[in-house]
Copies of this chain bind each other. A is one copy, B any other.
């Protein structure tokens, strides 16, 4: 198996084999962050540009740590998507960065499809999509999958249930694409303003009642109800949302007692999930974050080093 793409723009387009190869490679990088000297020389002398044109602390930090643990030089550029510096277009910004000879550009951007645009207009540049609008966030879906695989031992024959605002979630979208590719069942449960019937076009089962959606779930993924989006009247208010959709230990233990809980974070405690559940034994939330560094190390390595086989366990700085 191998990963022979120049980019990682989304889960869309990846084969089952490629997904498994990415996860297996990621698993190899997990142990590096547990070492006393948590660093390998794999990308020494390589330049990674983190171009984050939408606010992000967690994902930027994860990619930065991943790059540095591979011994790469990491350059952070932050800004906003709507008004890039001095009115320059995204394409010119990337053309300029490309001229400084980075080995890969990690892009976070508020506009859906911005990474695809760059793939067409700025060829010969390696791009990793770190979240583009409402479109995709592939490394998040991969780190979720790696975490599930570690805990459940398999990524086959699963039922994955997404709770909350799947409509405006690139994390939901990438997860749906990943699990449908792997042949798993995916459910979305949320108020009807969010859980539209057109999720069914993606092969997803739609529910409006948590008690009906949870039974049989192996994994329950709590999605963010972004405060700013609720002004669009998708839900009357977040307190009412919580009355019907708040994930608690008692509801999980009643309806799907063996389920594991994931959340891409940041979590709104008391709105989406209780602290008892988020901090309890079935929660994999912080394990996801740990795996995020490993997944990003693997993706950076595969794209930049141009090698598909690597044994980090044999290397140290």
Contacts and interface: CB of A to CB of B under 8 A. Distances in A.
Interface of A: 33-39, 44-47, 49, 55-58, 61-62, 64-65, 68-69, 73, 75, 77, 79, 85-89, 92-93, 95-102, 224, 226-227, 265-269, 286-290, 292-293, 316-317
Contacts of A35: 45
Contacts of A75: 61, 64-65, 68
Nearest to A268: B87
Contacts of A88: 265-267
Contact of A266 (B34, B36, B85, B224): B85
A100 B65 contact: yes
A129 B289 CA distance: 24
A36 B42 CA distance: 12
B57 A101 contact: no
A78 to B, nearest CB: 9
A201 B30 CA distance: 52
Nearest to A224: B86
A33 B96 contact: no
A306 B44 CA distance: 26
Contact of A100 (B33, B95, B224, B226): B33
A283 to B, nearest CB: 11
A38 B44 contact: no
Given A47-B68, A62-B100, A57 B79 contact: yes
A73 B68 contact: yes
Nearest to A293: B100
Given A45-B38, A73-B69, A86-B266, A96 B317 contact: no
A77 B92 contact: no
A289 B99 contact: yes
A36 B306 CA distance: 11
Given A38-B101, A56-B85, A88-B266, 18 more contacts: A33-B100, A39-B44, A47-B68, A57-B79, A57-B93, A58-B85, A61-B97, A62-B100, A65-B102, A68-B75, A86-B226, A88-B267, A92-B269, A98-B286, A99-B286, A99-B287, A99-B289, A101-B290
Contacts of A93: 57, 266
A38 B33 contact: no
A97 to B, nearest CB: 7
B265 A92 contact: yes
A45 B287 contact: no
A92 B267 CA distance: 8
Contacts of A79: 57
